[in-house]
């Protein structure tokens, strides 16, 4: 994202300080890309920014939900990013006028990583990607599972089913 685009977003009232622009992370040669909603301004760059939903309790539970599954099935063979690269106000769903701005960067990330499989973290991401002709498979957002811990085994199974469908046996 260039400085002009950041300045224009700032003029519209969006938080665009460099430290808030979160690019993807992980294995750039991964076959699997996971996509979250957007980063949170209060969380550092250690992998859990993508999954924060606004409360510290859920944040910790969310990372405790997703990170073990990623390590269990994907080892370090994944790349993770967000649809929108800056935080939204109060960690709400990003404004509709932000999405087209950032989808072009997301599409560039996808072109660079060239994943064989894209997994959307939650329904909002899945539906947003679909609008922009980016095909993905959907799992529940980890914050949803964190609030409904009785769904953890089913969440785990969602990953197993997707990986099995794509015959990614080496990771299972």
The Cα 90–Cα 70 span in angstroms is 27
Summarize pLDDT for 150-161 with one digit per residue, the tens.
999 999 999 999
The Cα 70–Cα 73 span in angstroms is 6
Output the pTM of the full model: 0.80
Question: Looking at residue 122, what is its pLDDT?
Answer: 94
Alpha helices in the chain (DSSP H): 3-11, 56-69, 99-113, 123-131, 142-147, 152-165
- List, in order of start, the domains of the chain with CATH numbers: 15-164 (3.40.470.10)
The Cα 50–Cα 106 span in angstroms is 14
Mean pLDDT of 31-36: 93
Task: Using the predicted structure, report yes or no on whether residue 37 has a pLDDT greater than 80.
Answer: yes
């Amino acid at each position: 994202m260039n400085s002009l685009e950041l300045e224009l977003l700032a003029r519209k009232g969006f938080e665009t300080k460099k430290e808030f622009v979160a690019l993807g992370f992980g294995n750039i040669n991964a076959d699997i890309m996971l996509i979250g909603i957007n980063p949170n301004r209060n969380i550092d760059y250690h992998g859990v920014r993508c999954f924060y939903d606004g409360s510290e309790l859920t944040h910790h539970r969310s990372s405790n939900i997703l990170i073990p599954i990623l390590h269990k099935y994907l080892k370090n063979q994944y790349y993770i990013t967000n649809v929108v690269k800056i935080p939204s106000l109060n960690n709400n769903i990003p404004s509709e006028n932000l999405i087209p701005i950032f989808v072009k960067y997301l599409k560039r990330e996808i072109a660079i990583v060239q994943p064989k499989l894209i997994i959307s973290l939650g329904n909002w991401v899945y539906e947003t990607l679909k609008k922009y002709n980016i095909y993905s498979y959907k799992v529940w957002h980890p914050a949803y599972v964190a609030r409904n811990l009785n769904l953890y085994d089913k969440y785990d199974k969602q990953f197993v089913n997707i990986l099995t469908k794509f015959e990614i046996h080496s990771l299972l």
